[in-house]
Chain A
Amino acid sequence: MDFSFTKEQERLRQEVRDFLETKVTDGEFQVKSNGWVESHSQKFSKDMSRRGWIGMTWPKEYGGHNQSYIDRAIVMEEMLTYQAPIGFHFLADRQVGPAIIHFGNDEQKKTYLPKIINADISIAIGLSEPNAGSDLVSVKTTAMEQGDFYIINGQKVWTTGGHRADYIWCLVRTDLNAPKHKALSEFIVDVKTPGITVRPIINMAGVHSFNEIFFEDVKVPKENLVGPKNRGFYQLMAQVDYERAGLERLMQNYPLFKNLVEYAKKEKRNGNPLSKDPFIRNKLAELEVEYQVGRLFCYQVAWTLSQGRIPNYEAALCKAFCTQFEQRLSDAATRVLGLYGQLMPGSKYAPMDGDAADSYLWSVSYTIQGGTLEVLKNIVATRGLGLPVAKS
């Protein structure tokens, strides 16, 4: 057992931190909870790319850096501490790239991986549909073969960053007769293809982060099919483990945590610092313990991946636990601040510029996006513990 980082890893962490400090000092972005989801900067992603921080774990032959998942976790931990604007490359780096590496052909690897690594293209994820959320196997969007093309028709929804993406990674139905899970395929689709309409959805935090995307007779070349036809669902099941395990599920409102602790130390109520209030003291310490446990869950998954193994229930467990921590944090913050806890960004008197209230709104999504808390717990219970699956 070894909980330490190597000297190189410590150096890497310091390098990332210096990089970020400079960016903040230069005013390139502001440290703010949920920043990594809200913000999107190709320039920032290009700067990261130049330092080798995109595609870190990918094979060298496609421009990757062949580093360990622990190294990637270190870079991510620093990025998330600052909530850096990594949205341009993030989804491609986290899940699309790995999916192409596992299931794509050589041509696809040569086409897409270097572009992702160089932050030339941004990719959104189009899995969910109005009637297929947790139940992804029910997607209705179809892709039908026609000569050298597939013709896509249907609708995706909740597509994060779809309005700024160059490509959408789509799960679609390619066989209308086969059993559902043997009828799905994955495509990478150029958003500029005629017939695609992207419409904004405003979330309850008042932000345009996700979209609905309509496909009307969208003609996609056959070479955009990733992996064998009708194997999409099986491919997907392997991919979501990458989506589930990252530190981004623990740290989406990390600046709030850090600032709240500082606030409690400085701010006085009836002459005493807030941090001396028994309730607040206990709450903050409790959150710290939970945070540190969550961090270990995340690093454990990264370590498993770094050993060349796919995490099993651990990824689901990690996300289930960590997102609940984030939710408890934002709720606790509003209460520690009392009446000030309901003040939004931009309001006079808002402590931490309204980060507590704002994060309380965002926190609704933490336990829904990327697999709901309940679905994750089901996975822990059935896949992890071997409990029997209910007959439906």
Chain B
Amino acid sequence: MGFVFPEKYGGMEGSFLDLTVLMEEMGRACLPGPFFSTVILGGISLLEGGNEKQKERFLPKIAKGEIILTLAVTEVSGNYEPEGIETRSVKTEEGYTIDGTKLFVPDAHIADYILVAARTEEGKGNNGIALFIIDTKSPGITVTPLKTISGDKQCEVRFEGVKIKEDALIGGLNNGWSIIQKVWPKIVVARCAEMVGGAQEALGMTINYAKEREQFGSPIGTLQAVQHYCADMVADVDGCRYITYQAAWMLSCGLSCDKEVAMAKAWCSDAFRRVTAKGHQIHGAIGFTEEHDLHLYYKKAKTWELFYGDSNFHREIVAQQMGL
């Protein structure tokens, strides 16, 4: 859990590149569980934006697996733009009061703490946003899990007059968005790494099946139609791998890589989806059942495609980076 945290917080000082290896394996296993929300969304945000006291308070507990965290940015607008944030924080004597509704918050139903992006001032775009860490047991918080295609738990989190202390603020008062922006590439690339693993596994299952399944007296893998699908799938999976590793490596080296990150998610979003769809086509009816595992990957591919921007969203960033 504390893989990328400094040793003094109970971590192992692993690099971000190393972490992506771990993420890839989790994706390969289609691992259910709050690792992503706790470590990537919660832990890395605290690491980037938290003060010393906050880091000392939370990171060791994360490293020991004692607490679950998550991050709540997106709201009804369903996007990842600062304009979408309408949840408000109002300054009070002792701290702040939070009101608003967050959507698609991963694992909020089991989280101990939620990092919440809230608007401090109207009309100031990305300069009027603060990030708070809030105990989910605070009065005024209601969590409702949504029913998603992949069966993961994403939630609606409502804040009604939730009172928090001054020390819940992460970074400066109007600094929230810049923290999110700093963490964002890591969130995106960690997700891509999971997609690499998932796509690799779906490909592997399919190749094995194409070798075993016989129709017309030979393995279906001897059929050129099937072979070409498999070849397309390899291009997709290898593409996922290289473009993701490139971004992960650049991030790890501290290089600027907005374009590489966007290219990685643009590619992985489409490629993982295509790989699972072709995998299903090659499996025939057996893959359309609940007892076969392939559907887990097909469903994850759709959720992960839509999370943190789909290919259209990221191609727009690439276009901007190209000076278009």
Q: Which residues of A contact B (CB under 8 A)?
A: 128, 131-135, 138, 157-158, 201-204, 206, 210, 269-270, 279, 327, 331, 334-335, 338-350, 354, 357, 360-361, 364-365, 367-369, 372-374, 377-378, 390, 392
Docked-complex contact B288 and A342, CB < 8 angstroms: no
Among listed B18-26, B86-94, B214-222, B248-256, interface-contacting one: B214-222
Task: Report the minimum CB–CB distance from A264 to chain B (whole Å).
Answer: 14
A338 touches B303 (CB 8 A): no
Q: Contacts of A357 on B, CB cut-off 8 Å?
A: 148-149, 302
Q: Which residues of B contact A269 (CB under 8 A)?
A: 77, 79
Smallest CB gap from B148: residue in A: A342
**A338 engages B310 (CB within 8 Å):** yes
Give the docked Cα–Cα distance between A346 and B146 (Å). 9
The interface residues of chain B lying within 8 Å CB-to-CB of A347 are 146-148
Distance in angstroms from A321 CB to nearest chain B CB is 15
Q: Chain B: how many interface residues by the 8 Å CB criterion?
A: 45
In the complex, A201 Cα to B307 Cα: how many Å?
31
Is B259 an interface position by the 8 A CB rule? no
A235–B104 Cα distance when bound, in Å, is 53
What 8 new A-B contacts, CB under 8 Å, besides A132-B215, A390-B224? Answer: A327-B277, A338-B78, A341-B302, A341-B306, A342-B303, A344-B149, A364-B287, A368-B285
A331 contacts which of B273, B307, B312 (Cβ < 8 Å)?
A: B273
Docked-complex contact A349 and B284, CB < 8 angstroms = no
Closest to A378 in B: B225
Q: How far is the CA of A167 from the CA of B224 in the complex (A)?
A: 38
Chain B residues whose CB sits within 8 angstroms of the CB of A345 once the complex forms: 147
Q: Is B156 an interface residue (CB 8 A)?
A: yes
Asked whether A374 lies within 8 Å of B147 as measured between CB atoms, the reply is no
Interface residues of B (CB under 8 A from A): 74, 77-79, 83, 103-104, 144, 146-150, 156, 214-218, 223-226, 273, 277, 280-281, 284-285, 287-292, 295, 298-299, 302-303, 305-307, 310, 312
B216 touches A348 (CB 8 A): no
Q: What chain A residues lie within 8 Å of B287 (beta carbons)? A: 204, 364
Chain A hits for B291, CB < 8 A: 201-202
Contact of B146 among A334, A338, A349, A369 (CB under 8 A): A349
User: Contact partner of A344 among B147, B290, B292, CB < 8 A?
Assistant: B147
Contact A339 B74 (CB under 8 A): yes
The answer to whether A134 and B284 touch across the interface, beta carbons within 8 angstroms, is yes
CA separation between A364 and B287, bound complex, in Å?
A: 9
Does B147 contact A350, Cβ atoms closer than 8 Å?
A: yes
Query: Are A348 and B226 closer than 8 Å at their CB atoms?
Result: no
Residues of B within 8 A of A331 (CB): 273
Known contacts A344-B149, A348-B144; A339/B285 CB under 8 A: no
A residues within 8 A CB of B216? 134-135, 138, 392
Partner of A133, one of B217, B285, B290: B285
Closest-by-CB residue of B relative to A278 is: B312
Cβ of B149 and Cβ of A342 under 8 Å apart?
yes
Nearest Cβ distance between residue A384 and chain B, in whole angstroms? 16
| Partner of B298 from A158, A327, A335, A364 at Cβ < 8 Å | A364
